[in-house]
Amino acid sequence: MTWLNTAMFDKLRGAARVAVLTGAGVSAESGIPTFRDRLTGLWERFDAAELATAEAFRRDPALVWGWYEWRRSQVLGARPNPAHEAIATMAKHVPHFTLVTQNVDDLHERAGSTQVLHLHGELARPYCERCHRPFDLSINIAEMPEGGCRIEPPRCPHCLWRIRPGVVWFGESLPGPAWNAAREAAERCQVFLCVGTSALVQPAASLTICAKRAGATTVQINPNPTDFDDEVAYAIRGNAGEVLPRLIEEVW
């Protein structure tokens, strides 16, 4: 493979602190559509970005809640792929390992990763819009039509207010604790891997530059060119599910 580089392997093998940032491309290899993929079914006439806002939820809560439940049903039917599994394996070889993800699914956790920093929230953790208490999901996903459907959001059992999806919508701030921990990991790591992300969504994309400025060896794994191709020390072109298992094999 053209990306094989012994210097990069040595950097990773000798690193006591490694941080990994994953994006939609990693979950896409498990069949989870990205925001850039064309929607189908009931959602065919919508842009995903138009549904992922607080304004859209206030305007039509049943439409937005139904869409997120449809997305959650896709996640429940998906399985972790070799990229998720390779990242979980990598963590076992590194004394101080931090996994940061822009993805809202739980595929990293199901592959064995722990203490994942979810910058954009989690589909499986909705909460009350008013009192912010977490809500235990009880909808029977199996009954959802294949193309999705409108679903009225459930109500909080404590204050009877509306439950909202547990994700960070466009225009909202990232969760402070997760973001602060991600920044600290980027600033302290010796190797930083950016995997399956377009490097367009801020502020998550800034973590790669943060790590570079702090002196870390930066590695990008992506099947397509990104704005970071000339910024990172190593730009590897390929699918995460193919590159990461091979990387683990070569390094450890």
pLDDT at 196: 95
Q: Among the options 84, 108, 118, 120, which is catalytic?
A: 120
pLDDT at res. 3: 66
Angle of CA points 195, 198, 203, to nearest 5°: 90
- Give the pLDDT of residue 35: 67
187-190: long-range pairs with CB below 8 Å, 24+: 187/211, 187/214, 188/17, 188/96, 188/214, 189/15, 189/17, 189/18, 189/19, 189/96, 189/98, 189/214, 189/216, 190/11, 190/14, 190/15, 190/16, 190/17, 190/18, 190/216, 190/217
HEC string for 137-195: CCCCHHHCCCCCCCCCCCECCCCCCEEECCECCCCCCCCHHHHHHHHHHHHHCCEEEEE
Architecture of domain 1-32+80-124+172-252: 3-Layer(aba) Sandwich (3.40)
Name residues whose C-beta falls within 8 Å of residue 168's C-beta, 6 or more positions apart in sequence.
Answer: 119, 120, 121, 174, 175
Identity of the amino acid at 69: E
202, burial (CB in 10 Å: exposed 0-12, middle 13-18, buried 19+): exposed
Of 74, 65, 153, the C-alpha closest to 107 is 74
Helix (H) or strand (E) holding 75: helix 61-77
Is-catalytic flag, 120? yes
**Tokens, residue 219:** 């590695």
Longest dimension (CA), the chain: 59
The pLDDT tens digits along the chain (252 residues) read 456 689 999 999 999 999 999 999 999 999 998 766 655 555 566 777 889 999 999 999 999 999 999 899 889 999 999 999 999 999 999 999 999 999 999 999 999 999 999 999 999 999 999 999 999 987 545 467 777 789 999 999 999 999 999 999 999 999 999 999 999 999 999 999 999 998 778 899 899 999 999 999 999 999 999 988 999 999 999 999 999 999 999 999
pLDDT for 201 equals 81
Tell me the domain boundaries of the chain.
1-32+80-124+172-252, 36-77+127-164
pLDDT the model gives residue 34: 77
pLDDT score, position 137: 85
CA distance 186 to 201: 17
Rounded-to-10 torsion of CA 192, 22, 54, 173: -10
Which CATH superfamily is 36-77+127-164 part of?
SIR2/SIRT2 'Small Domain' (3.30.1600.10)
